[in-house]
Amino acid sequence: MTVQLPPPSPALQLHQAAEVLRRSAQAAVAAMARNDYWAVGWARGVTNAIGGPEGELAALLSPDAALTLADALDTVGSEAARRLRDAVPVPLAVFAGRVVEAPREG
């Protein structure tokens, strides 16, 4: 017999997305500390490495910004769970779902 579990709650998805962002940001900070290339800073380093509008977009989410966003997602998710409504703003729920489901290396 196969057991069908319900989908994760929006609050849980916010916490999961926060964890993905936090883990990636912390790994980036550690890697940057070991590589002199990043002395130019996050935005310039990413824009130089990727180039074009893709690089400019990627440069917007620095590790510091990702950590701040992770904290905000955790705060909203915890507040929603505490209120037992589990309701989160739809754009945040969509964002969290995309982060959690995004393909990653490693």
Average pLDDT, the chain: 86
Q: Give Cα separations from 36 to 5, 8, 10, 40, 98 (angstroms).
A: 47, 41, 40, 8, 32
Residue 15 is assigned to a structural domain of this protein? yes
pLDDT digits (tens, 9 = 90+) for 30-76: 999 999 999 999 999 999 999 999 999 899 999 999 999 999 999 98
Percent of the chain with pLDDT over 90: 51
Residue 83 is assigned to a structural domain of this protein? yes
The reported pLDDT for the residue numbered 23 is 95
Under 8 Å CB-to-CB from 17, ≥6 apart: which residues? 70, 73, 95, 96, 97, 99, 100
Domain with 17, as residue range(s), is 10-34+62-100
Strand locations in the chain, DSSP E?
none
Residue 46 is assigned to a structural domain of this protein? no
Residue 45 is assigned to a structural domain of this protein? no
What pTM was estimated for this model as a whole? Answer: 0.80
How many structural domains compose the chain? Answer: 1
Residue 2 is assigned to a structural domain of this protein? no
The reported pLDDT for the residue numbered 38 is 93
Residue 53 is assigned to a structural domain of this protein? no
The reported pLDDT for the residue numbered 37 is 93
For residues 42 and 59, the answer to whether their CB atoms sit within 8 Å is: yes
Calpha distance 11→13 (Å, rounded): 5
Residue 42 is assigned to a structural domain of this protein? no
Residue 5 is assigned to a structural domain of this protein? no
The reported pLDDT for the residue numbered 65 is 93
